[in-house]
Each structure stands twice: as structure tokens, then as C-alpha cells.
Amino acid sequence: MDSVSGIVTLTTDFGTADGYAGAVKGVILSIAPDSRVVDLSHDVPAGDVAAGAWCLRVAAPTFPSGTVHLAVVDPGVGGGRRPVIVSRGGHLFVGPDNGLLSLARGEVDAAWTIEPDRVRVRDRVAPTFHGRDVFAPAAARLASGAAAQDFAVRMQVSALESLPLDLGWSEEGGVAVGRVVHVDRFGNLVTSLPADLLVRSCAAGGSADGRPVLAAVACYEAIPDGGVAFIEGSQGLVEISLRDGSAAKSLGLGVGAEVKIITSPGGGQ
């Protein structure tokens, strides 16, 4: 990466009640006092690596090139998983190699394994708090312009852990078929189906695991009371939403549920 922006973003499952997120910020600012620290989220469900990875996918691309993204959702902290730096799409990502960094957009250019003893600022690395003792000092050094190889060892990109995110879908007989890939905090069901399908969708709507879904609407306000409908989501994917409520709870569905959109009259018949 040619230059750094001086911005460090934080994505964790720490919450804000215990001071853990604050401790990470303190380390960053002690090493890189001119950096700008931005919270993406500290409300990732505890240990939910997939949710943290989706947060990075949604938010990281909106930041300028050269941003350092520190992410810590690390149920294996202190174990065998590697602490890594990943370069992709003009950004640097720092965190555990457990799939957390794998859904961010852009091709991976390079990856390094952090050597904790070369970045730590305390007498020893706490086995339960690598966010403070390993990842924060690494991210701060990168934000200050240090090169990854100053404290990390190059590794094979193919060795990085990944999470499955199948955005595949198919269309046959006037019916497009995909699956739910994420459920957001509002209970919207984000699917693998591209939003431009909604231009061809029919008044018949479709279904989610056999439960009826109304035809596409332009905005949440247009969803009839008590009904769930297709809508274009902000990520360019079809979502299923319930006005003033949770579609996930209303339908009793989650990740993996099959979703069908009727794209031509008589589709699926």
C-alpha cells in the first residue's frame, strides 16, 4: 500500500460496558497520537465471527484508501489461530486469522503473520486480550506508516482462513432461487439474490422456505401492515423486510433459508 490515511477503524464484540474497547483505543493513541480512531461497531454478538466479518464487508469500503481496519472477534484468543495483517483493496486489516477478515471486499494482495513480541508494549502479552496487546499496537504502527514486514512475517495468501459466503443463485422456469446470507439487527433477511432481479419480479412476489413474501416495494413505508416483502437492500442484494418489525422473527427464518422470486408470469407453475 503506497500511503496510509491515519485512520484506524475498530470492529469488536467487546461492547462498551467493561472498558475493553477503551483500552484498545488508548494503546492506539499512545503509539499513534495523530491517528483518527473510528468505531465501526462494538456490538457484534459475542464470538460471532460471521457477524463481525459482515460488518467489515458493509463498512470498510466506505473509508479512504490507506485505512487500517482493526477487528477483534476472537473466541480462539490465546490458542493456535494466527494474528495477521491482510492487504486488500487498498486497505489493511488487522485481526485474528479465524475468517473474520475474509468477507471484506477486494482481492487479497498480501498477508503477514504478526510476531507479538515485536509489537507488544507491555511486559507480556495477556493470553486473553490480544486486542489490546497485539492487534492494537500493530494497527497503530501501520497507521503511523510502518511496514508490515517490520514486525510481521509474510505468509501465503492461500493459507488464510475463510468463511463461506455463497452469493450464488439460479434462475429457471421464471423463478430465481437464492438463500439468506445474513440477518441484520432489524431482522431484515439479506439474500444472495442481486437487487436488479426486482425489476423483473412479478406481482406474485415469491417465498422464503415456502412462506409467502409479497412483491417488491420501493421503501419500508410501502410494505403493507403485517406483511413481509422484497426490497432492494443497501448492499445491492434483495432483502426481505417487515414494516416496523423483524422479518426474521415473523417468518422464523435465518441464514441458509431458501428464497424464491417469481420473475415471469406463471413462474414456478
C-alpha cell at 209: 422456505
Regarding whether 182 and 57 lie in a shared domain, the answer is: no
User: Domain limits at 232?
Assistant: 170-262
Question: For the chain, what percent of residues have pLDDT higher than 70?
Answer: 98
Q: What is the pLDDT of residue 203?
A: 85
Which residues have CB under 8 Å from 206's CB, separation 6+? 175, 212, 213, 230, 259, 260, 261, 262
The CATH number of whichever domain residue 218 belongs to comes to: 2.40.30.90
> The CATH number of the domain where 15 resides is what?
3.40.50.10790
What is the pLDDT at residue 200?
87
HSE-CB at 52 with a 13 A cutoff on CA atoms is 34
Residue 98 lies in a domain: yes
Q: Is 164 domain-assigned?
A: no
User: What would the pLDDT profile of 209-247 be if each residue is shown by its tens digit?
Assistant: 999 999 999 999 999 998 999 999 999 999 999 999 999
- What kind and span of H or E run contains 28? helix 20-31
- For the entire predicted model, the pTM comes to 0.90
Q: Which of 159, 187, 216 is the last residue of a domain?
A: 159
Q: How confident is the model at residue 11 (pLDDT cuts 50, 70, 90)?
A: very high
Maximum distance among all alpha carbons in the chain?
A: 70
Confidence at residue 36, expressed as pLDDT on a 0 to 100 scale? 97
